[in-house]
């Protein structure tokens, strides 16, 4: 609920400052980056987006698996009290996680702005689509989040192409409700068993 409230507040602030018009980036990607295979045409912006996504996934995978700070972050996420008792600086880990989240959000905003243009009205809906993705993949699984994003994206595309464009916007939330009823910890999430 805090996320929804902050999204509404920031949207109103951005509308007040920048207005509701669509702002487009100037075209700067070379046309040689685009792919043409017969009747299949992939614009350069989608190729660049794919490359940026793969680079970030590899960097974060290596960071969380091999770096000391990444291991600290995983330990704090798993059990904060145990990590604190082992000498992990929890406040520093929280600060780093917020910094990484801000970096990823900034890169995502730039990529989405290059693809669709910057429109204040679309910002809240884009942010809310994250919930079905992480719930479907599992809150504690990076691979699950990737697979969840692919599944939700394909479902949106096929629903918009074959059924209805208006239904396309709500299909992620239908999947969210279904997953919460059937498998609330997601496809790759771990079931936590607590002994009392």
Q: What is the DSSP letter of 27?
A: P
In the beta sheet, which residues pair with residue 35?
A: 42
Note the pLDDT of residue 196: 55
CA 75 – CA 89 distance, rounded (Å): 11
Token pair for 9 = 């507040």
Supply the pTM of this predicted model: 0.69
**Per-residue confidence (pLDDT) for residue 189, from 0 to 100:** 62
Model pLDDT, residue 186: 72
Instruction: Provide the token pair at 161.
Output: 């192409």
Say if residues 185 and 191 touch (Cβ distance below 8 Å). Answer: yes
Q: What are 22's two structure tokens?
A: 């669509």
Orientation angle between helical segments 68-78 and 90-116, nearest 10 degrees: 100
CA dihedral sign, ordered 151, 107, 103, 105: negative
CA 142 – CA 188 distance, rounded (Å): 9
**Cα dihedral value 10, 105, 130, 115, nearest 10:** 90
Q: Which pLDDT score, from 0 to 100, does residue 168 have?
A: 80
What are the residues whose beta carbons fall under 8 Å from the beta carbon of 34, sequence distance 6 or more? Answer: 41, 42, 43, 44, 47
- Say if residues 179 and 186 touch (Cβ distance below 8 Å): yes
Q: Which residues of the chain have pLDDT under 50?
A: none
Residue 153's nearest CA partner among 135, 123, 130, 184 is: 130
pLDDT on residue 118: 74
- Would you list the domain boundaries of the chain? 35-118, 120-191
Which of 93, 60, 63, 64 lies closest to 76 in space, CA to CA? 93
pLDDT of residue 83: 83
Alpha carbon distance 89, 78 (integer Å)? 14
Angle at 149 between CA 74 and CA 191, to 5 degrees: 45
């Amino acid at each position: 609920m805090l996320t929804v409230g902050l999204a509404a507040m920031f949207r109103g602030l951005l509308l007040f400052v920048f207005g509701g018009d669509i702002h487009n980036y100037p075209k700067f990607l070379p046309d040689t980056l685009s792919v043409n295979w017969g009747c299949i045409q992939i614009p350069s912006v989608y190729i660049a987006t794919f490359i940026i996504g793969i680079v970030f996934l590899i960097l974060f995978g290596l960071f969380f698996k091999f770096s000391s700070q990444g291991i600290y972050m995983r330990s704090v996420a798993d059990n904060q009290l145990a990590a604190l008792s082992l000498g992990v600086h929890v406040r520093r880990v929280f600060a780093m996680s917020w910094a990484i989240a801000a970096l990823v959000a900034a890169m995502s905003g730039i990529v989405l702005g290059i693809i669709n243009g910057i429109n204040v009205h679309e910002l809240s809906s884009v942010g809310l689509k994250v919930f079905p993705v992480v719930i479907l993949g599992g809150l504690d699984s990076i691979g699950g989040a990737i697979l969840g994003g692919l599944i939700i994206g394909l479902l949106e595309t096929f629903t918009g192409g074959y059924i209805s464009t208006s239904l396309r916007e709500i299909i992620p939330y239908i999947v969210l409700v279904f997953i919460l009823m059937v498998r609330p910890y997601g496809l790759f999430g771990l079931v936590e068993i607590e002994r009392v």
